[in-house]
Amino acid sequence: MREINDQTLQLAAQKAVIIRENIIKMLAESGSGHPGGSLSAADIMACLYFWEMNIDPGKPLAPERDRFVLSKGHAAPVLYATLAEKGFFPAEDLLSLRQLGSPLQGHPDMRKLAGVEASTGSLGQGISWAVGMALAGKMDQAGYRVYTLLGDGELEEGMVWEAVMAAAHYHLDNLTAIVDNNGLQIDGQVQKIMNVAPIGEKFAAFNWEVIAIDGHDLQQIMTALEKARGIKDRPTAIIAQTIKGKGVSFMEDRAEWHGKAPKKEEAQKALEQIKAEAAALGIN
């Protein structure tokens, strides 16, 4: 197993802070977008891109690269912030989010931006795309792995479970699906709108390996990803318990921040809180 040491954890923590800061900055500049589910996924994305995945921004189409599909495409800000920090494009371009002519569209477009593997936004299609990529990898006897991030509200889509069934049927052990289980969607609590629980048991019933974690605990995230690499003959689902709007007190666990950008004053307050929390944790 790869070592998960203090240096590794510190790097991921630093990247998660930068990702959260840039999410707030770009949304405040654009005046529209989705902060809640972007902030909840920042720790997961930091671990994927700065520890787990084999990706080179200098070779974005390298055949051996790992693939990531943001199935919950409305959380594009977290993907853009991560790609910029990884070096796929300059960080200053983040401020063009949702502007006319910008490659940083409201939902990811693989035709416009290097590092985006799939154009997503219609919920349920991303995991279906990821299953196809993983199946192609198996057929080609390629060594790459495929990762996809779903929202818990997205699990209400029927095609998600068709994809889950197919992934198990084809023994796609090169596929890892991560569920950002923050409990909220745009209309309120997932449990009240269309209860998808128990999530882990559903994936297990489709013959997936299931790992439940705290989606803000970097050690747990990395350990789960490492365990998924060792699973054979079936795909892995990591059910990550998260907090919508994580890192910004007035956004945390609030459904109204699913798709509402902060105003300038709110953005400043949010950035101050992110910096203060980072400092309290000893993150430079």
Measured on CA atoms in the order 233, 235, 239, 245, is the torsion positive or negative?
positive
Classify burial at 102, counting beta carbons within 10 Å of its beta carbon; exposed 0-12, middle 13-18, buried 19 or more: middle
- Residue 17, both tokens: 């802070």
Domain contains 66: yes
Distance CA 148, CA 175 (A): 8
Looking at residue 93, what DSSP letter applies?
A: G
Domain contains 14: yes
Distance CA 220, CA 200 (A): 16
Distance CA 251, CA 153 (A): 18
- The phi and psi torsions of 25 (rounded to 5 degrees) equal -60, -45
Distance CA 85, CA 142 (A): 27
Degrees, nearest 5: CA angle 221-32-159? 55
Q: Is the pLDDT of residue 280 over 90?
A: no
Q: Is the pLDDT of residue 181 over 70?
A: yes
Number of domains in the chain: 1
Distance CA 246, CA 41 (A): 8
281 pLDDT band (50/70/90 cuts)? confident
Residue 237 and residue 213 in contact, taking contact as beta carbons nearer than 8 Å? no
Mean pLDDT of 156-170: 98
Domain contains 39: yes
CA dihedral 244, 246, 249, 250 (to 10 degrees): -40
pLDDT at residue 3, rounded to an integer = 85
Domain contains 1: no
Mean pLDDT of 70-85: 98
Distance CA 45, CA 70 (A): 10
Mean pLDDT of 103-127: 97
* CATH assignment of the domain containing 34: 3.40.50.970
Q: Is the pTM higher than 0.85? A: yes
Amino acid occupying residue 241: Q
pLDDT at residue 163, rounded to an integer = 98
Mean pLDDT of 2-23: 96
Task: Domain of residue 105: give its range.
Answer: 6-280
1 pLDDT band (50/70/90 cuts)? low
Mean pLDDT of 51-75: 98
Domain contains 145: yes
Q: Is the pLDDT of residue 191 over 70?
A: yes
Mean pLDDT over each residue of the chain, to the nearest integer? 97
Mean pLDDT of 3-18: 96
282 pLDDT band (50/70/90 cuts)? confident
Q: Is the pLDDT of residue 116 over 80?
A: yes
Task: State the greatest distance between any 2 C-alpha atoms of the chain, in Å, as a whole number.
Answer: 52
Q: Is the pLDDT of residue 40 over 80?
A: yes
Residue range 235-248, pLDDT digits in tens: 999 999 999 999 99
pLDDT at residue 166, rounded to an integer = 98
Q: Is the pLDDT of residue 39 over 90?
A: yes
Mean pLDDT of 146-165: 98
Domain contains 259: yes
Residue range 210-233, pLDDT digits in tens: 999 999 999 999 999 999 999 999
